[in-house]
Amino acid sequence: MTSPYDVLARIRSDRQAPEAAGERCEMCSEAIADEHQHVVNVAGRQLMCVCRACYLLFTDNNAELRYRAVPDRYLAFDDFALDRRAWEALQIPVGMAFFFTNSALGRTVAFYPGPAGACESQLDLEAWNAIAGADPRVGLLADDVEALLVRVPQHDEAENAQPQTYLVPIDTCYEFVGRLRLLWRGFDGGQEARAFIDGFFSDIQARAKKTPPGTPP
């Protein structure tokens, strides 16, 4: 039986030497557009830019693969089981973070944005497990390639305001923190960064499919 790695090796051997100009697939060196797809190197915890052909080699979520294709679905988790007390128990120093299951580590990891980019949190797993256990929609996330992106209300906002919670592709999260890093000014990010955050979450909200509480994984 031919494996994805055999196919990839054959693609590589058939390609001519890549030209210097333009962005290229990190697997086969085929030229790719600015808008392209990604796979995750599971062990290396790295995103790789790939062409459509290489992307399709790694779309089987049930296979034991070294790489996994990043899907393109957005789900909105309204009324997510997360209040301010639960958020504070996670010990995340800012009001935004994304969570995903790292299969190589066998646990959930969390990152939050900052002036240096994505900062890994020393996640309180007991607190996270309590949240995940209270809302079965967490089980919808595909390991390594999908994340739960959360933005909690600030203290000066309405007391009963709900967190914004979305299932998103993992590359969307890294794009978000990377672009935010370029805009960050001062201690709290500055006005331009805050405007970018508002716009980014508005775009996510517009494209996300609502997924009601109680939806089984």
Q: Does residue 217 sit within a domain?
A: no
Residue type, 187: F
What domain count does the chain have?
2
Range of the domain at 38: 4-69
142 and 127 in a common domain: yes
pLDDT value, residue 61: 78
82 and 62 in a common domain: no
pLDDT value, residue 158: 52
Q: Which of 24, 45, 69 is the C-terminal boundary of a domain?
A: 69
| pLDDT tens string 102-126 | 998 899 999 998 888 889 998 888 8
Q: Which of 69, 100, 125 is the C-terminal boundary of a domain?
A: 69
101 and 52 in a common domain: no
pLDDT mean over 56-70: 88
Q: Does residue 216 sit within a domain?
A: no
pTM of the complete model: 0.84
Q: Which of 69, 94, 111 is the C-terminal boundary of a domain?
A: 69
| pLDDT tens string 121-167 | 988 888 999 999 999 999 999 999 999 999 998 765 555 668 999 99
